[in-house]
């Protein structure tokens, strides 16, 4: 029996709230708070049990502290935007509450994944006896736990890791992103980066690609090398790692639109003056693009996200792929959201459940691969994201 405060009433927040609401034994009281209270109320209206809702500006620490002190949660689940991470962590420290998020902190004016800012909270969380769980979505999140499982059960050393994220879904829109457009476009237009022989190597954005043959009827798709935040913690936590990279599929149509938007300056994150008013082109573009939450009823097809791992066990070379397949339409029928929000929201709820039921405990700041993968993977499968292992 625990009280949880969910911050952020977007696509992911909707899934987390649905899933927590269906597990009253663990999540006995829920408050959903966000910048726009109507969005919280709309989600609350879809549920079969009452929850509290609240308006909060999560960039304002005193406002967060007041809300936390009023509701007194055991845990804050942060599914707002990466810009809010440090403010919410500050408020959790001030009020003595555990913390969980799904994406690492990014400064507004610099598109850069980096755990340094949140890892710097290590001593403060440890001293207060509080736990901060970072990146409890799918990637980061389940992908880190897949690696922890591989390390615990299948390999003495992991040498090569490819995290592969395929969205083979179709929403029928000329151009839309499956999660927050601003965060998505910042991620995709950044330089590629991979880990090799103890060093980071950089590549121009979307300049490295290859074909990967996905299982279960998805088939061959072009995947592009990107930098993704889980590589940073995995490069530290996996024994013997020699190379690690992250890949994602994009349709030709998505890339065509993105190229034009970049060429005309619409993806810039620095402010420009328009009619005497400062605007950030990417934020303006976000206002024009479809809300990812609206894609739920339109999206069909599947996602496949997994880890292809090579290493050694008992002196022998071994290779395997661990992955999940998720169907957009099935997710929509269950919680009213497409699979990208679903595959993020379910692991956030499961990570919270691990913390609140004492299966994952500790004081300090943790990445997902540092905790026991077994109870998490058992629960994530039960909650709708089963996984499959193929050995080569
Ligand atoms: P959305 O844009 O749909 O939702 C974000 C929500 O946060 C919105 O409701 C927004 O409010 C609210 N919000 C933004 N700023 C503030 C603020 N200052 N105070 C209070 N609320 C605020 O995003 P998604 O649901 O798609 O993504 C949520 C998070 O999940 C992001 O951090 C994203 O990076 C992460 N993510 C992680 C993935 C993973 O696998 N690990 C995959 C996909 C996403 P308003 O509605 O008023 O704008």
Distance, CA 9 to ligand 1 centroid (Å)?
A: 7
- Nearby residues of 65 by Cβ (< 8 Å), 6 or more positions away: 91, 94, 95
Q: Which atom in ligand 1 lies closest to the alpha carbon of residue 138?
A: 40
Where in the chain are the domains? 2-138+350-355, 142-337
- The reported pLDDT for the residue numbered 111 is 77
Q: Is the pLDDT reported for residue 81 higher than 80?
A: yes
Nearest to 85 by CA among 352, 365, 283, 357: 365
Angle at CA of residue 22, ends 17 and 26, nearest 5°:
90
Is domain 2-138+350-355 given the CATH code 3.90.180.10 in the classification?
no
What pLDDT band is residue 179 in, cutting at 50, 70 and 90? Answer: confident
Burial label, 112 (beta-carbon count in 10 A; 0-12, 13-18, 19+): middle
Percent of the chain with pLDDT over 70: 100
Percent of the chain with pLDDT over 90: 94
User: What does the DSSP 8-state code read for residue 12?
Assistant: H
pLDDT in tens, 120-157: 999 999 999 999 999 999 999 999 999 999 999 999 99
The mean per-residue pLDDT over the stretch 353-364 comes to 98
> Among 6, 15, 35, which residue has the most ligand 1 atoms within 8 Å of its CB, making it the best to mutate?
35
Q: Is the overall model pTM greater than 0.85, yes or no?
A: yes
Q: Mean pLDDT score of the chain, rounded to an integer?
A: 96
Q: Can you tell me whether residue 307 is helix, strand or coil? A: strand
- The reported pLDDT for the residue numbered 301 is 96
Nearest to 262 by CA among 206, 334, 306, 335: 206
User: What does the DSSP 8-state code read for residue 197?
Assistant: T
Q: Is the pLDDT reported for residue 110 higher than 90?
A: no
Of the listed ranges 102-111, 202-211, 330-339, the one predicted with least confidence: 102-111
Distance, CA 105 to ligand 1 centroid (Å)?
A: 12
Distance, CA 313 to ligand 1 centroid (Å)?
A: 40
Q: What is the largest CA-CA distance in the chain?
A: 67
- The reported pLDDT for the residue numbered 279 is 96
Nearest to 73 by CA among 58, 91, 61, 85: 91
293 or 66, higher pLDDT:
66
The mean per-residue pLDDT over the stretch 188-210 comes to 96
Nearest to 102 by CA among 386, 351, 376, 356: 351
The mean per-residue pLDDT over the stretch 298-327 comes to 97
Query: Which residue stretches of the chain are H helix?
Result: 11-21, 37-44, 61-71, 85-95, 116-119, 122-127, 142-149, 181-188, 230-237, 252-263, 281-288, 328-335, 339-356, 373-382
142-337 homologous superfamily: Dihydrodipicolinate Reductase; domain 2 (3.30.360.10)
């Amino acid at each position: 029996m625990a009280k949880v405060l969910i911050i952020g009433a977007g696509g992911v927040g909707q899934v987390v709230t649905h899933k927590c609401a269906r597990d009253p034994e663990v999540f006995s009281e829920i408050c959903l708070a966000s910048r726009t209270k109507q969005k919280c109320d709309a989600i609350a209206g879809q549920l079969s049990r009452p929850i509290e809702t609240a308006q909060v500006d999560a960039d304002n620490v005193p406002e967060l502290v007041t809300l936390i002190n009023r509701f007194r949660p055991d845990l804050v689940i942060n599914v707002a935007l990466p810009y809010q991470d440090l403010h919410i962590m500050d408020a959790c420290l001030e009020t003595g509450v555990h913390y969980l998020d799904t994406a690492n902190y990014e400064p507004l004016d610099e598109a850069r994944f980096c755990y340094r800012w949140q890892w710097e909270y290590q001593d403060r969380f440890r001293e207060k006896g509080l736990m901060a769980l970072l990146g409890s979505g799918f990637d980061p999140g389940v992908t880190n736990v897949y690696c922890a499982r591989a390390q615990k059960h299948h390999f003495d050393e992991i040498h090569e890791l490819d995290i592969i994220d395929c969205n083979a879904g179709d929403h029928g829109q000329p151009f839309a992103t499956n999660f927050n457009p601003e965060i998505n476009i910042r991620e995709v237009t950044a330089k590629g980066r991979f880990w090799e022989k103890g060093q980071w190597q950089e590549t121009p954005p979307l300049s490295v690609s290859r074909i990967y043959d996905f299982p279960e009827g998805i088939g061959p798709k072009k995947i592009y090398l990107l930098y993704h935040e889980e590589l940073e913690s995995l490069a530290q936590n996996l024994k013997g790692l020699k190379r690690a990279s992250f890949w994602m599929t994009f349709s030709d149509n998505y890339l065509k639109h993105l190229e034009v938007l970049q060429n005309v300056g619409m993806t810039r994150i620095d402010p420009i003056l328009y009619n005497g008013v400062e605007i950030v082109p990417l934020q303006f573009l976000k206002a024009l693009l479809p809300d990812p939450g609206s894609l739920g009823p339109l999206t069909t097809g599947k996602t496949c996200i997994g880890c292809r791992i090579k290493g050694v066990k008992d002196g022998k070379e071994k290779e395997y792929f661990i992955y999940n397949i998720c169907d957009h339409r099935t997710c929509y029928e269950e919680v009213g959201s497409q699979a990208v929000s679903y595959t993020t929201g379910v692991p956030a709820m499961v990570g919270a459940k691990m913390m609140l039921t004492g299966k994952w405990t500790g004081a300090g700041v943790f990445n997902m691969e540092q905790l026991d993968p077994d109870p998490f993977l058992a629960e994530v499968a039960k909650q709708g994201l089963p996984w499959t292992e193929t050995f080569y």
